[in-house]
Structure 1
Amino acid sequence: MTSTLPAATATKVPAQRQPAHDTAPDRPAAGPPTRLRSSRPDLILCGVLLVAILVVQGWNISAYPTLSDDEGTYLAQAWAVQQGDGLAHYTYWYDHPPLGWIQLALLTWIPALLSPESMTVGTMRAVMLLISAASAVLVYVLARRLSLPRWAAGLAMVLFGLSPLSVVLQREIFLDNLAVMWTLLAFALAASPSRHLWHHFGAGVAAATAVLTKETMLLVLPALFVTAWRHSHRDTRKFALTGAVTACALIGFSYPLFALLKGELLPGSGHVSLWDGITYQLTRPGSGFILDEGTGSYGVLQSWLYYDRVLPLGGLAGALLLLVLWRWSVTARALAGPALAVAVLAALALRPDGYLPAMYVIQALPFLALVLAGGTASVAHAVLRRRRSEAERRAVTRGRYALVTVLALAAGAYVVPRWYDGDRTAVTADANAPYEAASRWMAEEVEHPADTRVLVDDALWLDLVHAGYEPGPGVIWFYKADLDPAVTKTLPRGWRDLEYVVASPTVRRDAVDLPTVKAAIEHSAPVAVFGTGEDRIEIRRIQHATGGTR
């Protein structure tokens, strides 16, 4: 920013003491980044906001949103790691790198040790509060390191932690939430104000951990390296970037090396392979164009916007603004990495026939929050800078307060009522009563659970294991009845070897493509129904089942 001092009073720095060009990233008027641990105002603001985020996200966490099959799968895989039964509760087939649920196993190890029956999806959602807390603090730290003023860093933290979309998704046991935490740590290290080389090496290690937690975090690596480039010292930039990339690549290659050592890198008879897992992920059927009504992707988009329009749409607008103003705005240049991350993730979501899962937006949430807060700060800074050239300090102060007041009133009039409705649903609704009732029925009404075979989705799998059903051949994750040879060989007569099907919405939806599951539903009758409509859970007894065949 051009100095406002008269030319005659400006002090000339001797040439030998002038800082080298581009030795530090440009800073907006807010000044250089402040270390959170040494700034009492930052600690107080971050602490107050963190308490608010944890209260909203933690209240009613086990009852809303509805338990998902993915949550059950990841937790069951973590349980298998704790039991020493390998990397999954069934055959591990390289659907995702296992580091994500290994972390879940560590997080849930002590609670499961103290109370084994508590190792269920609803109860163990509480551990996600630890991840949410770490991620929210890292958003604030990163915002400050990217030179956002204190109020804008607080705004980014609020957007990330209190948006109804965030409250719903960050409660769930998803690998994406763990991966986001590691990604934010990588960005915070890359933007470290001290610019030590080990910070950039650490950024590479954290980035690799994020990718091995959820492989889709590969998409934001270019944005991370842009941030590292901008925040590294010119004299050591090549070493810093080389170290970050090398650390990330070497750790990342441990995954294919693991598959190679197990003889499962390439396809072959009688075993799964990493190649097949990657091929499946890249060739799975698309869900249609995100803007075409009636497609699966459009439905996912509408589900995001149902919870919150402010963060997704406002974040996209903020990223566009920062990218347009990149050459003229210091704030835009400082936020080039997060803006690029939003652009890349949005471009992938707009593929004509790509696959778009509901949790895809999780990895974009922190960057959407940062660019929306950064765009707001950039506009505010532009307005106030122009005021400084036209009026005295008192007028600037009045203008600042007036601007903040207008922004606060605008947020209060539009954002707060909508967020209040969404967050109130999250802290009051009980969406999982049917699951709890079905779990109790299966535990109390079936006389010999150890000798009973039942198809169930993974959201209830661990509940039934704790109720005495035998994991694997007894209580069967319904997909495996058709897709896992190790399970299908225990069902020589298909559906006739089963006794019950717990037909949740997930089971009924996906049974269309699973012959054994479909036949089991068709040859069964409901003996108990919990809930109503599409969300109901039916406990169905197989008609003329032989039962007990192993």
Structure 2
Amino acid sequence: MTSTLTAVDTPEIQGVPAQRSRASRPVLTRRPVVRFRRSPADLALCAALLTAIMVVQGWNIADYPALSDDEGTYLAQAWSVQQGTGLAHYTYWYDHPPVGWMQIAALTWIPSLFSPDSMTVGTMRIAMLVVSAASAVLLYVLARRLWLPRWAAGLAMALFGLSPLSVVLQREIFLDNIAVMWMLLAFCLAASPSRHLWHHFGAGIAAATSVLSKETMLLLLPALLITMWRHSHRDTRKFAITGAITACALIGLSYPLFALLKGELLPGAGHVSLWDGITYQMSRPGSGFLFDPGSGSYGVLQSWLYYDRVLPIGGLAGALLLLATWRWSVTARALAGPALAVATLALVAMRPSGYLPAMYVVQALPFLALVLAGGAASVTHAALRKGRRPDERQITRGIRLTVTAVLMATAAAYVVPRWYDGNHTALTADANAPYRHAAAWMATEVPEPAKTRVLVDDALWLDLVHAGYEPGLGAIWFYKADLDPAVTKTMPGGWRDLDYVVASPTVRRDAVDLPNVKAALEHSTAVATFGDGEDRIEIRRITGGDR
């Protein structure tokens, strides 16, 4: 699968130690290339880990974690692509490039053919297992191409796929998961041991696809270029880098070209624009400083650490250590790209003025796992390295083995119980019973769904469409009641033109800034409630005005 490099010290000449100069630093010798597909040991280890990851991530996938409005939005947009009605279930306003949910549409196309009514968020999460499987295998390949030993590559794959944080977030229908898969492919091509030019061109294409799946992947392009620089041949490096950048830029420019051809590149009367979409994303209210206990970013950080402290903290520490020692460590130089990716994402997350979404960490997960496994490999290599003299080998070998075994046992004793608790929750808890009950009530208790208008969040939007509510005008994504002119013009009476509001936690939280939604909640009465506390879902019938 890859060529591996070994540190070789400058030999002593006639018993006199060589001078410690630049020439005497560890150099890299290349071993014969071992192809992944021809390595039974690599194939067996990767297959065993992949099976474990798929079982853990797939078990109870529809019931945990709780459905999110973002998942519903992306799946509803994918449904619209499948139906041939457009790039979104409402006016497409360039909030994100559409390539991400077009891929979701492709992943959910086959199951939707057999059972159209089952195309809801919970069941369609199964499609994300395909993405998780591809990402896990690509990470293993990348680890081996970055010269990590087999056991360290397996460790990286296990950290990435079995961490409770990964299990929870990789189950969800997020554009970030799809973008990460493409970026890992780009890194694998950039680190190809064959060094063919088409591999680097392919890396540029894969990187562009990643960015068009989720635009924040732009942050990782410098780390990709560093990896490509280190793994390209010096004689063809300028062609490889130029070709990769050109391929990435040309494909990336297809997005603004699409907007230009539609006459929606710049703002204007009566239409949306790419410029407005970018302006909105860049001007979103900041979440505050990451370590300020009163900020939204701090709450997001705590939600990550609630599931797992090992991968985020250990991976960040490993990345900083690798960047600090890259001049002296072979492993640090090999992992310079992934370490830079982790550092870049961490710095952006700490911006006091930036907006930090909960799924942001998804982009860092594979690189956190990679640098943490690389750090473990570096420490193990240093602990087990043979001494120069026979007597040193005999005396210190046993001590080093003992210390290494103690460190590994301590790490396992800390990690395993915490991961067991987090993954046990993911495999057994049912966080979506209120959503299922609310969807069933709206399908069976409302006399004429086709003539009923309901405000609902996108996590339940497709459920109502399958139950017979008119897409867009009967089942209304609650944001659109205030923010989409195409919807508001069908509601001349505002909240009075509605029949029900399905008040999920998302609807109640965001209603503060949405006048029509807020008024609908104030002029309605709960007729059914599912769940309790902040996570409850209330079905509220409009009672004020002329009703």
- Does TM-score exceed 0.5, indicating one fold? yes
Distance 1:263 1:491 in 2: 28
Distance 1:496 1:299 in 2: 37
Q: Residue 268 of structure 1: SS of its match in structure 2? A: coil
Q: Residue 267 of structure 1: SS of its match in structure 2? A: coil
Structure 1 residue runs of 4 or more that deviate by more than 6 Å after TM superposition: 392-397
The residue that corresponds to 1:34 in the other structure is 34
The residue that corresponds to 2:483 in the other structure is 483
The residue that corresponds to 2:465 in the other structure is 465
The residue that corresponds to 1:359 in the other structure is 359
User: Following TM superposition, by how much is the alpha carbon of 1:161 offset from its aligned partner in structure 2, in angstroms?
Assistant: 0.4
The residue that corresponds to 1:260 in the other structure is 260
1:2 aligns with 2:29: no
1:229 aligns with 2:229: yes
Alpha-carbon distance change, 196 to 130 in structure 1, aligned in 2, over 3 angstroms: same
Which is further off, 374-383 or 216-225? 374-383
The residue that corresponds to 1:543 in the other structure is 543
Distance 2:399 2:147 in 1: 22
- 1:65-117 deviations in whole A, cap 9, x for unaligned? 00000000000000000000010000000000000000000000010011001
Structure 2 alignment gaps of length 5 or more: 1-6, 16-22
Structure-to-structure mapping, 1:147-546, within 5 angstroms: 147-385=147-385, 387=387, 398=398, 401-402=401-402, 404-544=404-544
Q: Residue 71 of structure 1: SS of its match in structure 2? A: helix
The residue that corresponds to 1:115 in the other structure is 115
Distance 1:400 1:244 in 2: 44
Contact preservation (8 Å) 2:315, 2:368: yes
Alpha-carbon distance change, 498 to 390 in structure 1, aligned in 2, over 3 angstroms: farther
1:50 aligns with 2:56: no
**TM-score normalised over the length of structure 2:** 0.94
Distance 2:329 2:261 in 1: 51
Distance 2:27 2:229 in 1: 13
Distance 1:251 1:543 in 2: 52
Q: Equivalent pairs: percent with the same residue?
A: 77
- 1:136-178 deviations in whole A, cap 9, x for unaligned? 0011000000000111101100110000000000000000000
The letter for the 2-side match of 1:311 is L
User: Following TM superposition, by how much is the alpha carbon of 1:7 offset from its aligned partner in structure 2, in angstroms?
Assistant: 4.8
Contact preservation (8 Å) 1:27, 1:334: no
Contact preservation (8 Å) 1:26, 1:333: no
- 1:495-533 deviations in whole A, cap 9, x for unaligned? 000000000000000000000000000000000000000
Q: Residue 540 of structure 2: SS of its match in structure 1? A: strand
- 1:212-234 deviations in whole A, cap 9, x for unaligned? 00000000000000000000000
Distance 1:398 1:40 in 2: 31
The letter for the 2-side match of 1:227 is T
User: Following TM superposition, by how much is the alpha carbon of 1:396 offset from its aligned partner in structure 2, in angstroms?
Assistant: 7.7
User: Following TM superposition, by how much is the alpha carbon of 1:352 offset from its aligned partner in structure 2, in angstroms?
Assistant: 1.7
Q: Residue 540 of structure 1: SS of its match in structure 2? A: strand
Distance 2:162 2:361 in 1: 15
The letter for the 2-side match of 1:270 is G
Distance 1:38 1:26 in 2: 28
Alpha-carbon distance change, 33 to 339 in structure 1, aligned in 2, over 3 angstroms: farther
Contact preservation (8 Å) 1:525, 1:542: yes
Which is further off, 93-102 or 31-40? 31-40
Alpha-carbon distance change, 358 to 33 in structure 1, aligned in 2, over 3 angstroms: farther
Which is further off, 395-404 or 276-285? 395-404
The residue that corresponds to 2:87 in the other structure is 87
Distance 1:395 1:443 in 2: 75
Q: How many residues align?
A: 532
Contact preservation (8 Å) 2:311, 2:369: yes
User: Following TM superposition, by how much is the alpha carbon of 1:8 offset from its aligned partner in structure 2, in angstroms?
Assistant: 7.0
Distance 1:46 1:394 in 2: 35
Contact preservation (8 Å) 1:498, 1:545: no
The letter for the 2-side match of 1:525 is T
The residue that corresponds to 2:100 in the other structure is 100
Q: Residue 502 of structure 1: SS of its match in structure 2? A: strand
**TM-score normalised over the length of structure 1:** 0.94
User: Following TM superposition, by how much is the alpha carbon of 1:542 offset from its aligned partner in structure 2, in angstroms?
Assistant: 0.3
Alpha-carbon distance change, 389 to 519 in structure 1, aligned in 2, over 3 angstroms: farther
Q: Residue 184 of structure 2: SS of its match in structure 1? A: helix
Contact preservation (8 Å) 1:27, 1:147: no
Q: Residue 113 of structure 2: SS of its match in structure 1? A: helix
- 1:427-476 deviations in whole A, cap 9, x for unaligned? 00000000000000000100100000000000000000000000011000
Distance 1:206 1:27 in 2: 29
Give the aligned CA root-mean-square deviation in angstroms.
1.9
Contact preservation (8 Å) 1:81, 1:102: yes
